[in-house]
Amino acid sequence: MSSLKDRITEDMKTAMRAKDSERLGTIRMLLAACKQREVDERIVLDDTAVVAIVDKLVKQRKDSITAFQQGGREDLVAKESAELSVLEGYLPQRLSADEVATEIAALVAELGAAGPGDMGKVMGAAKARLAGKADMGAVSAAVKQALAK
């Protein structure tokens, strides 16, 4: 059973052999982010931690794409979109909106949360349970909706 980090390293070697410079650059950036965290925190990343880094980089790409679209920079939108598609390949299968809503409803019931004041408590538990499995923006929206009832 190889780790996600091993798979990313193998993909980097494959991209080098194929002379796929765009893919290679994105993978190197991802591995650099992983290495930086390992050095900073003196730890060895497990798959969950690597997924969290990929998630963060995906969010950055999405934010950049939005900003570049507003600025009319289609060249940069294309570059960020290409990076985004490479990065998303390393994320596990995401939960659907219905599955997220079901998980959040169960969490709200478990915690006995009621009203918008409990948003932080529910989000904390949701982050722990759904990290890497769902887009946190969608989770936040589902929590707001569940607590508004």
Distance CA 54, CA 87 (A): 6
Q: How far is the CA of 46 from the CAs of 6, 30, 38, 60, in angstroms? A: 11, 14, 10, 22
Domain ranges of the chain: 4-88, 97-148
% of the chain residues with pLDDT over 90:
40
Long-range pairs of 119-127 with CB within 8 A, sequence gap ≥ 24: 119/143, 119/144, 119/147, 122/146, 122/147
Tens of pLDDT, residue by residue over 4-16, are 889 999 999 999 9
Tens of pLDDT, residue by residue over 97-128, are 777 778 787 777 777 767 777 777 777 777 77
Distance CA 23, CA 16 (A): 9
Does residue 23 contact residue 13 with C-beta atoms inside 8 Å? no
In this chain, the answer to whether the domains covering 4-88 and 97-148 adopt an identical fold is no
On the question of pLDDT at 149 being above 70, the answer is no
Phi then psi for residue 96, to 5 deg, are: -75, 170
Q: Which CATH architecture has domain 97-148?
A: Orthogonal Bundle (1.10)
Q: Which CATH architecture has domain 4-88?
A: Orthogonal Bundle (1.10)
Distance CA 26, CA 115 (A): 42
On the question of pLDDT at 29 being above 90, the answer is yes
pLDDT, residue 1, reads 44
